[in-house]
Structure formats: C-alpha cells, structure tokens
C-alpha cells in the first residue's frame, strides 16, 4: 500500500488484533533523509503459505517492503530453526485443529539496507477452504 510519501510503502493489516497496528512500514521518526543516509531503520517482510485456487495444493508468497526485506524473509524461512517456530505457530490455538496455512509478518532492523535482526511482528492462521473456488 503506497504511503503519503511516494518513496515509502506499508503493509496494511485489514483486521488488527489487540496490540497490532493497522499498518506496518518504514519507521522514519520524522527524519526525511533516505534510509541509506540514516544508516539504521526498521522495515518489514511478509511470508504466506496459502491454498492454491483449487484447494489442492499450496502457494508460498515471499515479499518485503524492499529487496533486502524480501531476501531476508526468504532466508529466514529456509533457516534450520524456522521449521520449529512455524510448527509452534501452526499448532498455537489450544483445542483447535492445526492449520496448514499461515501468514507471517517479520520486522527487520536494517543497517545499510541489509537486514540485521528479525522478529515476528504478527501472524495469522488461515482456515482451509471448505470447497473449490467460487
């Protein structure tokens, strides 16, 4: 989603849960210099494992507010420890069956346009479709 500044973008959260923001984007803190001029910034990447159009398979989407965030999100989900984190997320709702589909929003701290540290900012379990496409 374009920001009021045409050089910035945000990821919109259409249904924020308690403690979540309605959008996530680059944190400028009033500093209008470019991200690379400032040195350190906060940014976001997004990964979703969703059903394909016929409900017979999966689609993996990897995206970010910039190329470095997209690359960092891809590296995170292929890292050895992420499968354990993903299993915990998919099985996190006590008393409910595990969901095979998920959306994960990563928050990255960047320095010189390279993601340095990350954390999960938000995630959603996606209910599998009951039938084929509408």
In a domain, 3, yes or no: no
In a domain, 112, yes or no: yes
Q: What is the pTM assigned to this prediction?
A: 0.72
pLDDT at 61: 94
In a domain, 50, yes or no: yes
Tokens 């924020």, located at residue: 16
In a domain, 134, yes or no: no
Q: DSSP code of 17?
A: P
**Of 33, 63, 30, 60, whose CA–CA distance to 45 is shortest?**
63
> CB of 105 within 8 A of CB of 120?
yes
In a domain, 74, yes or no: yes
In a domain, 105, yes or no: yes
pLDDT at 98: 67
Tokens 């001029």, located at residue: 37
pLDDT at 62: 94
* Stretches in the chain below the pLDDT threshold 70: 1-8, 27-40, 92-98, 111-116, 128-134
In a domain, 78, yes or no: yes
In a domain, 4, yes or no: no
Tally of domains within the chain: 1
Full residue range of the structural domain in which residue 91 is found: 10-126
């Amino acid at each position: 989603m374009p920001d009021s500044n045409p050089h910035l973008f945000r990821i919109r959260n259409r249904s924020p849960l308690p403690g979540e923001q309605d959008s996530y984007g680059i944190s400028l803190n009033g500093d209008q210099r470019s991200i690379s001029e400032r040195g350190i910034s906060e940014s976001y990447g997004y990964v979703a494992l969703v059903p394909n159009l016929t409900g017979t398979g999966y689609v993996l989407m990897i995206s970010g507010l910039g190329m470095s965030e997209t690359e960092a999100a891809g590296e995170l989900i292929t890292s050895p420890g992420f499968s354990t984190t993903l299993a915990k997320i998919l099985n996190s709702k006590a008393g409910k069956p595990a969901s095979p589909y998920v959306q994960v929003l990563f928050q990255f701290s960047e320095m010189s346009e390279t993601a340095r540290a990350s954390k999960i900012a938000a995630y959603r379990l996606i209910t599998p479709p009951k039938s084929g496409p509408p």
